[in-house]
Structure 1
Amino acid sequence: MPGLPPFAVKIVVDDGTLEEYEVTRKDNAYSCWVASEEGKNFSIQLDVEATNQPYSCDVFMDGTFVKSCSCRPSLKFRSHKIRGCTIDSSTVRLFAFSRVSLTDDDAIASADQQLPKLGTIEAKIYRTRILGRVDRVFGQPAISNGSVIHERSKKMSMHNVTLQGEIQTAPKKKVTRSQRLDKEPCASFLFTYRPKDFLVAQGIIPSSMAGDNSCDDEPGPSHSASQPTKKRRRSEDASSGKVKDRRIVNNDEDVSEENVRHLKQTLRDVQAKLDAIERRKLPHPVKKEIKLERLALSADIDGVIDLTND
C-alpha cells in the first residue's frame, strides 16, 4: 500500500487507480500529479491497516471541504471509498472531472482566494476519539456546478470537480461523532490534477509513457503497506528531502503535437505575409538621368565659338 503507512489514499476511475507522477513524500505529507479526463466520475479510496486508533479523513475538492469519513479501530485492513456528496439518506451525487467554466465578468467570477487550490484534491487524516452515534444532517452540497473563473485565471487549471450523476445507497440515518486529538493532521495527501496533454507538455508524464493508460492495470486495494506501484514517478527521495524544481508555463492553448505543428505553420505563413508587405512599402529607387542637349554651332568647325553674353 504505497502512501504514508498505515494510510494510503488513491483516486479511482472506472475501478482502476489513477497513475501517479512526481510522487513526493516528506514527513507526514504525500503529494503527486494525476491525469484528469473531462466527464469521468471518480472516487477517493482511503486504505487503513489494522489499528486500534480511530481516525477521521477530511476531503477537499479545489480547496473546498466536501466530506468527512470516520475510520473506526479494526484488527484487519479496511478500505473506505468516498464517491461524492450525500444529499439525503440514500442518494449520493458523484464526483466528476469537468472543464472549467470561464467568464470575463468580474462580478460573476469566483473569488480569487479560491484559485490557488483549483485543480487539487486533498485528504487530511486526524487522530480522533469516538463520542458516539448521532442523527445524520443533510444539506446542500459544498460543490457548485455553476461556479466559474475569470478568463485571466484559466491558466490555473483547465479542469475542476463537479457533481455528475447519482447513485442510490442503503439508507443511513446515523453517523459517528468524534473529536480530534490534534490540531494538525497526522497525514495529508495532495493530488494535483491536470489534463494528460498538459502533463506530457510539462514533462511530468515522460513522452515515452504518453500513450499508456492513465490507470494502473490492477484495480482494487492492495493489502501491503510497502508494495510500490510500478508506474509511479518520484522526484524526491524520502531521505534526501530534495524537491525537483519544475517551472509551469502558460497553457492557455491545446498542447498536442498536432496543434503545435499547426501553430508553427501559421506563424511561418504570417511571417511571409509580413515580409511581402514590408517589401511593398519600400520606396522605389529613382533613376537619375542627365539630359544631353546638342549645341548649335554658329561657326565653322575650325572657327571660334563665342559663349559670352551680348
Structure 2
Amino acid sequence: MHLDEIHAWICVDDVELSEFALEYSADGMEASCWIPSECDKQFSIHWETTDSVAGQTLNAQVTVDGTRCGSNDMRCSDRTRPHIASGSRNSVATSAETRRPLLFAQQALTDDDNLLNAAISPELGSIRVDIREVRTAPSMRSHRQPPVWDGRFETQVLHERSKKAMGHSVQFGAEYRERNRQLEPAVVVRDLATFVFRYRPIELLRAQGIAPPVVRPQPGASSADHEVVDLTMDDDDDDKAAASEINKLETRLRELKKKDGKVKIKSEPSGVRQEKESVFAPGEVIDLT
C-alpha cells in the first residue's frame, strides 16, 4: 500500500503478499487492505519512504492483534540515495539477547464456556504500522532500557463460538539468540501515515468475495484433438512418396486394361437413364461395390 511517498507491505518467503479491497481514509492519512495468511508461515513487515530529509528521523511502530511489538527507525541504506529510508520487522524481542519470529498459525480454540465472553481486542486479525516523525530526547537517555519479555505476546485462546474465531492468528516461533539494542527514548513530532493489514486465510477471503475466485481451466478437447502431426518432409521423402504413388497408379492401370472389353458402358443422351451392358467370362466374378 502507498500513501504519497510512503510504502508499506508484508512478505512471506520474501514474496510480497497480494492486497485486496484497498481503502483510504478521507484525510489521506490511513490505508487498509486484506491479505492472505498461510498457516505456519513466518512473515516480515516492511516500510519505506522516498522523501526522507536530512536531519529528519522517521520511526515505524508495529502493532499486531492489538499488541505493540516495538518500533524501528527508518534508516537510509544507500548513501547515494539519502532521500530513501526504510525499515522492517520480522520478530519481537523476548529479552536483551533473544527474539522470537512472527508467524501466521492456526487460531487456538477451546470449548471452555468461561472464555465465551472473554474480552477480545477489536484489532485481533490485523497488523498495524504507524509511521511517525520523531526526535530523540537527550534528557531521557539515562532511562534507556533493554526490551523485556513480559508474556504479552502469548497467543490468546478463543472460545470456538467466538465471532473472532476466523481461522488464523499471529503467533511466535522458536526463540533464537540475537543481541537487541537498548531502546532510545523518543518524542513523536507528528504522525505521517498508518497502514492496516487485515489477514485471513485465502479460502475465507474468497468465500466472502474479498479475494477473486480461483480461475479453473475450461474443459477442453481430448489430448488426441490437440495432437500435432508433423507433415513436413525433406526432398528425399518427397521423391520416395511420388515414386510409390506412381507405382500404385501404374498397377491399377494395368488391372483396368486387363478388364477392358469385359465391361462395356452404354452411354445415353443427357437426361436419359443409363444402363450397363456387361459381358462376363464364364465363372468370372465382378465386384461392383
| Range class of TM-score, shorter chain | 0.5 to 0.7
Aligned to 2:168: 159
In structure 1, the gaps of 5 or more residues are: 212-310
Gapped runs of 5+ residues in structure 2?
Answer: 218-289
Which amino acid is 2:19 matched to?
E
- Structure 2 CA distance for aligned equivalents of residues 156 and 210 of structure 1: 30
CA distance 1:58–1:111, change in 2 (3 Å) = farther
2:30 corresponds to 1:29:
yes
TM-aligned CA deviation for residue 156 of structure 1: 4.5
1:205 counterpart (200, 207, 211): 211
Structure 1 residue 106, shift from structure 2 partner: 3.8
- Percent identical pairs in the alignment equals 30
- Partner Cα distance (2:35, 2:123) in 1: 15
Q: CA RMSD in A?
A: 2.5
> Is the contact between residue 121 and residue 191 of structure 1 (CA under 8 Å) also seen in structure 2?
yes
Residue aligning to 2:58: 55
Deviations 1:192-216 (A, max 9, x none): 11001111111211115589xxxxx
How far 1:12 sits from its partner (Å)? 1.1
Stretch deviating more after TM superposition (102-111 or 60-69): 102-111
The aligned residue for residue 93 of structure 1 is 100
Is 1:178 aligned to residue 166 of structure 2? no
SS at match of 1:200: helix
Question: Matched residue of 2:102: which SS?
Answer: strand
Question: Are the structure 2 counterparts of residues 165 and 200 from structure 1 closer, same or farther at C-alpha, using a change threshold of 3 Å?
Answer: same
User: Residues 97 and 128 from structure 1, CA distance in 2 versus in 1: closer, same or farther, beyond 3 angstroms?
Assistant: same
Q: Where does residue 234 of structure 2 map in the other structure?
A: none
Q: How does 1:120-135 map to 2 (within 5 A)?
A: 120-132=126-138, 134-135=144-145
Change (3 A) 1:168 1:28: same
**Superposition pairs of residues 108-127 of structure 1, within 5 angstroms:** 108=115, 111-114=118-121, 116-127=122-133
Between the aligned partners of 1:135 and 1:80, the Cα distance in structure 2 is 21
The aligned residue for residue 42 of structure 1 is 43
Assess, with a 3 A threshold, how the Cα gap between structure 1 residues 23 and 209 changes in structure 2: closer, same or farther: farther
1 or 2 for the larger relative contact order (CA 8 Å, sep ≥6)?
Answer: 1
**Alpha-carbon distance in 2 for matches of 1:141, 1:163:** 11
TM-score norm. by structure 2 comes to 0.63
Q: Deviations over 1:100-135 (max 9, x none)?
A: 111232434683342x22211111122211225534
* Superposition pairs of residues 140-151 of structure 1, within 5 angstroms: 140-145=150-155, 147-151=156-160
Whichever of the two has the greater Rg, that structure is: 2
Secondary structure, counterpart of 2:94 in structure 1: strand
- Aligned-partner Cα distance in 1 for 2:91–2:149: 14
Look up the match of 1:81. 88
Alignment size in residue pairs: 205
Instruction: Report the Cα distance in structure 2 between the residues aligned to 1:105 and 1:208, rounded to whole angstroms.
Output: 37
Matches within 5 A, 1:183-262: 185-208=191-214
How has the CA–CA distance of structure 1 residues 210 and 42 changed in structure 2, closer, same or farther, with 3 Å as cutoff?
A: farther
Is 1:66 matched with 2:65?
no
